[in-house]
Structure 1
Amino acid sequence: MDNVPMPQPIVALVGATASGKTGLSLDLAERLGGEVVNTDAMQVYRGMDIGTAKLPEAERRGVPHHLLDLREVTEPSTVAEFQGLARDAIADIRERDRVPVLVGGSALYTRAIVDRFEFPGTDESLRRELEAELERIGSHALHERLAGVDPEAAAAILPDNGRRVVRALEVVALTGRPYSASLPRLEYADPLTVQVGVDIDRPTLDARIEQRVEEMFADGLVEEVEALLARGLQDGRTANRAIGYREVVGFLAGDRSLAEAVEQTKAATRRFARRQDAWFRKDPRIVWVAHDDPDRADRAAEAVRAAAPTA
């Protein structure tokens, strides 16, 4: 038994969108003998490439990637479902004595995978009732109701995120407890887990976001959305809420100009990046590396080896 090797660590690379996580994930995978596991809620959709900054296969340096292009845009995707898929992928990677490197922009998805997080059940009848109310009175009115019964959850959920507002109200009604009580605790599901964060100052991040959004539109985001609309994007419950896509849908519907769609996408991305950063800054377990440190990949790899030795 003494010769049985320890399992490989689970590495989660976190930080704001446009901070440089993708490149660092490849560097880490190469140094650690790893494979990348996507934790971005929207990169699971086929055809959502430009607007999600999905790395083209030719640029993945031969590093295997998991949980990309799993769903059509008409199909829903839930955190609970993603948790199971990701944990299965992680188990498979580790069984082959490789290191899973998680990377993506969805903070809740990452936490749901690496932390102890049990999902409350659902009630289809109650869910349909709440969704009907959502259609009738709108997400802001439901958000006000949520604020009355669970202020902490309401503070963490944007008023226009109707799907999450409905879920929070459903959990409160089913459990009699705040929705916030069901969120993941700061306790790893597997102790051999290391989180590495990319630290970047706000002015630099904002400049990167502006450049990224402009490049997305220049690279054909409008045409990508047009193709996805033909495949049923508007009928989906999850995909059509993605930043950039909903703004382009508004442009194509004549609700805003192209210039307005670009600027609104930039603003929404900046807000999203701030929420990501605020979420991760609350986690004291994260080891931070500077985005502009030329040795950031080596420092990150050292942190992984120090915190979760593999031998």
Structure 2
Amino acid sequence: MKVIAVVGPTASGKTGLGVQLAQALDGEVVNADSMQLYRGLDIGTAKATREERQGVPHHVLDVWDVTEPASVAEYQRLARQAVAGIQARGRTAVLVGGSGLYVRAALDDMAFPGTDEAVRARLEAELAVVGAPALHARLAERDPAAAAAILPTNGRRVVRALEVGEITGRGFVAELPDPTYAVPAVQIGLRVPRPELDERIARRVDLMWERGLVAEARELCGRGLREGPTAGRALGYAQVLRVLDGEADEEWAREDTVRTTRRFARRQESWFRRDSRVRWLDAGAESSGALLGHALAAVADE
């Protein structure tokens, strides 16, 4: 039984199509958005509400506390366990998300480089002093491919990429093996014209503020969001933390969240375009019914 993966940039409609495919194929959804693994990061990650899930079971959501560091290796274990369970029930696993490395971890034959605690500690100490953008600039010199795939504000991933480079002598992206499915799959990519995608992102950020992102972030601060090495740097939350700390106002936070999310969406597009296995569908002007029809046809063709 093949896994059906719905991938692409943020705000392209992956969540809705994933639910529709699960309904049409007697399936269940497996999350592949790295920030949706965090409990409480709901509004800022556009996590599907119970109503939006429409009764479809969702897996690998709300796994970690906001104080925990992300682990793609742990995610791989959880995602494959979820897929195996779904398939054992005779149902279709529908993997949905835009975190490229997490999608590959779930689907591909790959293991992850080990760690060196001394190297990691040294880089993390430097991160605390000079900040993520400075380390990202160093990464761009040493490993341009990795730098292109990692946001300059994502200090933890920048440190990890530099660590892998020191340990292996190779680039972080170069460490990834050629794409080979460990789990038979069909990947459907959603493509939206850039002007429309930019507008969707702006509307999504406005909706996050209307739904109470600031209040959610304030509540999460009581659970350690500021101290979280990963969750505290999530798009939207990082900006709101600066507002709560008195370093910026909400207008700046909204505008910067839009700008940063648009840049992130371009990185997502670039990541998935490198994978020739992705079957791309135009998700701009298409109605949800027409898009579902094209997706089901793509699945049937494989």
Smaller-chain TM-score bracket: over 0.9
Is residue 2:41 matched to residue 1:48?
yes
Q: Which moved more, 1:217-226 or 1:55-64?
A: 55-64
For 1:14, the equivalent position in structure 2 comes to: 7
For 2:93, the equivalent position in structure 1 comes to: 100
- C-alpha distance in structure 1 between counterparts of 2:273 and 2:223, whole Å: 38
Q: Which moved more, 1:74-83 or 1:132-141?
A: 132-141
Check the 8 A contact 1:247/1:264 in 2, yes or no: yes
Secondary structure of the corresponding residue to residue 173 of structure 2:
helix
For 2:120, the equivalent position in structure 1 comes to: 127
Secondary structure of the corresponding residue to residue 117 of structure 1:
coil
- C-alpha distance in structure 1 between counterparts of 2:145 and 2:191, whole Å: 26
Is residue 2:276 matched to residue 1:284?
yes
Is residue 2:30 matched to residue 1:37?
yes
- Flag the 1:211–1:142 CA change in 2: closer, same or farther, 3 A: closer
Q: Could you tell me which of 187, 192, 196 is aligned with 2:188?
A: 196
Q: Which moved more, 1:76-85 or 1:226-235?
A: 76-85
Is residue 2:236 matched to residue 1:244?
yes
Check the 8 A contact 2:39/2:64 in 1, yes or no: yes
For 2:166, the equivalent position in structure 1 comes to: 173
Amino acid at match of 2:240: V
Equivalences for residues 218-297 of structure 1 within 5 A: 218-291=210-283, 292-294=285-287, 295-297=290-292
Check the 8 A contact 2:83/2:93 in 1, yes or no: yes
For 2:203, the equivalent position in structure 1 comes to: 211
- C-alpha distance in structure 2 between counterparts of 1:198 and 1:48, whole Å: 24
Structure with higher Rg: it is 1
Amino acid at match of 1:296: L
How many residues align structurally?
299
| RMSD (Å) for aligned C-alpha atoms | 1.5
Amino acid at match of 1:298: G
- Flag the 1:18–1:184 CA change in 2: closer, same or farther, 3 A: farther
How high is the sequence identity, in percent, across the aligned residues? Answer: 55
- Deviation of the 1:302 alpha carbon: 2.0
- C-alpha distance in structure 2 between counterparts of 1:164 and 1:299, whole Å: 35
- Deviation per CA, 1:226-278, whole angstroms, max 9, x where unpaired? 00011110111110111000111111111111111111111111111111112
Check the 8 A contact 1:25/1:103 in 2, yes or no: yes
- C-alpha distance in structure 1 between counterparts of 2:229 and 2:274, whole Å: 30
Secondary structure of the corresponding residue to residue 28 of structure 2:
strand
Unmatched 5+ stretches in structure 1: 1-7
Unmatched 5+ stretches in structure 2: none
Secondary structure of the corresponding residue to residue 182 of structure 1:
coil
Scaled by the length of structure 2, the TM-score of the pair is: 0.94
- Deviation per CA, 1:182-234, whole angstroms, max 9, x where unpaired? 124222222x2100011211111111111111011011110000000111101
- Deviation of the 1:153 alpha carbon: 2.3
Is residue 2:153 matched to residue 1:160?
yes
Q: Which moved more, 1:262-271 or 1:176-185?
A: 176-185
